[in-house]
Amino acid sequence: MGFFGRSDPSDPEELRRRMVETQIERRGVADPTVLEALREVPRHLFAGGRSLREAYADRALPIGRGQTISQPYIVALMTEALEPEPGLDVLEIGTGSGYQAAVLAACGMRVWSVERIGELQEEARRRLQEAGYADRVMLRTGDGAEGWPEEAPFDRVIVTAAAGEVPPALREQLAPGGVLVAPVGGRSFQKIVRLRKGEDGRWTREELESARFVPLVTDQ
């Protein structure tokens, strides 16, 4: 019966439930806050006008300007890796379609999101407004490698584009005790890593999963 099984392909709420069950929970994502956020956020609003079947499929989707909306599982994995908690302040680098920002907001966090491509940022703003998350997501067009220093420090940092290493400014803008999640590696292959900044300023690093992200667009 394929991905949809007996679900109604015209019911977005049912498709989200099935997406979480088949694509996310079965791969080991277990944080109840993250799972509920993925069930809540209307991914089809952020999928560039694609059909419901495409919007909830188990793959990344192009959104124009050489950018993509990440596979649902990768969004869930990275969100869980952040260890989300309501009330935390999150810096996101790479707004893209706005979907990851919406998921973070649905987890109860406040989001500051930076996007280098102005047209994508404006589209994301409209989508976040339509989906009901605009009041919890602050947007800026700029160089993601520079972060958002005026609002630092942040409890969490998430990077949704690939770089050979995490830009130093993003490390500096993470508060002691905070968590940073990012894809690190070359243009065609990366590892999603989780960095923890200890209260003493020391760093620990974990490699979580292989991935393929578009490159971080930066002036540096």
Looking at residue 201, which CATH number applies to its domain?
A: 3.40.50.150
Residue 5 lies in a domain: no
Q: Is 70 a catalytic site residue? A: yes
- Please list the residues that pair with 138 across neighbouring strands: 112
Residue 42 belongs to what domain range? Answer: 12-211
Q: From first to last of its 220 residues, what are the pLDDT tens digits of the chain?
A: 344 445 556 799 999 999 999 999 999 999 999 999 999 999 999 998 888 999 999 999 988 877 889 999 999 999 999 999 999 999 999 999 999 999 999 999 999 999 999 999 999 999 999 999 999 999 999 999 999 999 999 999 999 998 999 999 999 999 999 999 999 998 878 999 999 999 998 999 999 999 888 888 677 6
Q: What is the pLDDT, as a whole number, of residue 214?
A: 85
Q: What is the pLDDT, as a whole number, of residue 1?
A: 37
Residue 1 lies in a domain: no
Q: State the CB neighbour count (10 A cutoff) for residue 217.
A: 16
Q: What is the pLDDT, as a whole number, of residue 49?
A: 81
Residue 162 lies in a domain: yes
Closest CA to 35 of 44, 48, 22, 50: 22
Instruction: Give dist(CA 164, CA 220) in Å, integer.
Output: 13
Q: State the CB neighbour count (10 A cutoff) for residue 45.
A: 20
Q: What is the pLDDT, as a whole number, of residue 5?
A: 47
- Given 7, 10, 70, 188, which residue is catalytic? 70
Residue 220 lies in a domain: no
Residue 160 lies in a domain: yes
Q: What is the pLDDT, as a whole number, of residue 3?
A: 47
Number of compact structural domains in the chain: 1
Q: What is the pLDDT, as a whole number, of residue 220?
A: 64
Residue 216 lies in a domain: no
Residue 4 lies in a domain: no
Residue 132 lies in a domain: yes
Distance of alpha carbon 66 from the chain centroid: 17
